Amino acid sequence: MDMKNIVTVKGLLVVTIALAAISCKNSSSNSSKATGWEINSKEGGFQYNTQYKEQETAPGLVFIEGGTYTKGQVQDDVMHDWNNTPTQQHVQSFYMDETEVTNIMYLEYLDYLKRIFPPSEEGFRAIYNGALPDTLVWRNRLGYNEVMTDNYLRHPAYAEYPVVGVSWIQAVEFAKWRTDRVNEHNLAEAGYLDKKALRTEVTASSNFSTDAYINAPEQTFAGNEDIKKTGRKSSVRTDADGNETNIYATRETGILSPAYRLPTETEWEYAALGLAELREYNTYRGRKKYPWDGQYTRSDKRRTLGDQMANFKQGKGDYGGIAGWSDDNADITAKVKSYKPNDFGLYDMAGNVAEWVADVYRPIVDDDFNDFNYYRGNVYTKNAINEDGTVKIVTTDDIVYDTLSNGKIVARNLPGDILQVPVDENDTYLRTNFDSSDNRDFRDGDKRSSRYYAQNFDDEDGEEKTEKMYHAPKNTIKRDAEGNIIREYDKSNNKTSMISDEVRVYKGGSWKDREYWLDPAQRRYFPQDMATDYIGFRCAMSRVGSKTKSNAKMRN
């Protein structure tokens, strides 16, 4: 290399280093555009994660980019229930479980409850027992299914099969538990919690809750400092009095994940359809009958020609085809990922098990009032506050238990959670967007259900007629002086409907349903505190930030 080229290379190197130094200086300054003060100064002041890119995909989930679609009926309404009239809806981007929640996933939940809240202790027995799936759902008065009753939940042969026998209430509690365990892991990976201590030091009286950590981090784990680290060294600051600050992760750090939850009906149907394969520029080329393209349940691909695309009942007495030539390779449920995913990468959005969604069931979708993230079932609560202004943390002495309509007892909160109370008129006064805590009945009913069916109902309030839009039976559960459960059936002949605020929507068809129910638009309902051998669930999570992934480009 001659001298001229060497000088040129050295010059370029100097310029590159100088630019890099300037770039580093600019990126580390983080000056506020509002005030000019430095953000994240080592001397204290405003601390914020200015390097945040986007939400990380949490364990088990896949990203679902939101958009608009036509929710509702595609096939003929052979059931004549008129409950899924097509409506145009918009869904925000969110995440959804790649598969249904499996037996091994649910067993991890049961194992945690059994270790932390031992059922051998009388005060905790209802926590574990209330979370147990009902394995007796497999029994049939004219069928021999004891092998599933005894083995389906726990035997390794069924580990990757979808969990069943889980009520809507149990599914919601699982999602809450999953949120806390994932955020524990996130905090440990970021250096805010001791991962080893999380396995050995957590007890019933020193438990973790995401909301409690955000609102009262010093009370998390009942103040057990063996679990809590004093933040990452790079994040800790010292104030003017010499006290360390920024030792706990806040929402501003971006470390804590949003909550796992059940998907709304609108989200579930949108995700199941996977309409991307029908998109042409900014429009859809028609609508879909199934999560896959086409009008049939069998594959038209050359390599899989004739194979069934889902696990369902093909005909009377036909749950799995002829031996050696199985239609869908399953008779009851099938191992997750046994069939190809839809265009969003989601498995078994038709067949295998039907799935709980978050919504309270009503025969109409009120799109005249709202067509954005539609959901019926909002019950707004707030943190309970002590007299000294701190949030009230649930202890082992004030766990709230509910006795369900079937007599089963479940825990609605766990030690370490923040006690929740309904919002009141102090929170709703002069608001235009909501005016009460319980909104399940908001703008309720259709024309037929809003009329009086008779003039002489025996209403619970003693009135001669009722104005209740859905006059469902109300079975009662009482306890005698010795604590024994007394079950009283509602024997009234004047009830007009099975619909109430305690029935939830389930979607997707199952291993024991005919192909009509594989259509993602179809909707049915079931009591939220009961379980079956054909309803499972999967979790969802809201996306925070941009509608699309950061590396996606705007389409024309």
Query: Residue by residue, what is the 3-state secondary structure of 296-339?
Result: CCECCCCCCCCCECCCCCCECCECCEECCEECCCCCCCCCCCCC
pLDDT band at 456 (very low <50, low <70, confident <90, very high): very low
**Among 6-20, 55-69, 151-165, 498-512, which stretch is predicted with the lowest mean pLDDT?**
6-20
Give residue for tokens 């390794």: 156
pLDDT band at 553 (very low <50, low <70, confident <90, very high): low
Structure tokens at 193: 């919690």
Evaluate whether 170 touches 531 at the Cβ level (below 8 Å).
Answer: yes
Q: How confident is the model at residue 84 (pLDDT cuts 50, 70, 90)?
A: confident
User: Which secondary-structure segment (H or E) carries 3?
Assistant: helix 3-29
* 74 half-sphere exposure, CB direction, 13 A CA radius: 21
Residues in the chain: 556
Please provide the DSSP assignment of 130-173 as one string.
HHS--GGGG-BTTB--HHHHHHTTTSGGGTTSBP-S--HHHHHH
Q: For residue 46, give the 3-state DSSP assignment.
A: coil
Q: Environment class of residue 306 by beta-carbon count within 10 Å: exposed (0-12), middle (13-18) or buried (19+)?
A: exposed
Residues 474/460, Cβ–Cβ less than 8 Å: yes
For each of the domains in the chain, give its residue range(s) and CATH number, in order of start: 57-190+255-372+505-547 (3.90.1580.10)
pLDDT at 20 over 60: no
Q: What is the pLDDT of residues 259-300, one digit of tens each?
A: 999 999 999 999 999 887 777 677 777 788 899 988 889 888
Paired tokens of 59: 């364990």
Whether residue 457 has pLDDT greater than 50 = no
How far apart are the C-alpha atoms of 357 and 537, rounded to whole Å? 8
CA 342 vs CA 273, 274, 522: distances in Å? 8, 6, 18
Burial class (CB in 10 A: 0-12, 13-18, 19+), 397: exposed
Residue 334 has pLDDT above 90, yes or no: yes
Instruction: Write the DSSP string, 216-230.
Output: -GGGGGGG-TTTB--
Average pLDDT value over all residues in the chain:
86
- pLDDT of res. 393: 94
Segment holding 426, helix H or strand E: helix 425-428
Q: What is the pLDDT of residue 9?
A: 53
When pLDDT is averaged across residues 375-404 and rounded to a whole number, the result is 92
The residue that leads in pLDDT, 282 or 48, is 48
DSSP conformation letters of 247-263: -S--GGGT-SPPPEEPP
What percentage of the chain exceeds 70 in pLDDT?
Answer: 86
Nearest-Å Rg of the Cα atoms of the chain is 27
Mean pLDDT along residues 357-369: 91
pLDDT for res 240: 63
What percentage of the chain reaches a pLDDT higher than 90? 55
**How far is Cα of residue 407 from the mean position of the Cα atoms in its chain?**
25
Q: Is the pTM of this model over 0.75?
A: yes
Question: pLDDT confidence of 466, banded at 50, 70, 90?
Answer: very low
pLDDT confidence bin for 29, thresholds 50/70/90: low
pLDDT confidence band for 26 (50 / 70 / 90): very low
Q: Tell me the average pLDDT across 371-380.
A: 95
Reported as a pLDDT band with limits 50, 70 and 90, residue 347 is very high
Mean pLDDT of 165-173: 97
Helix, coil or strand: residue 101: coil
**Residue 464: per-residue pLDDT:** 45
Short-list 147, 62, 199, 138, CA closest to 540: 62
Give the residue, 283 or 19, on which the prediction is more confident.
Answer: 283
Single-letter amino acid, residue 458: D
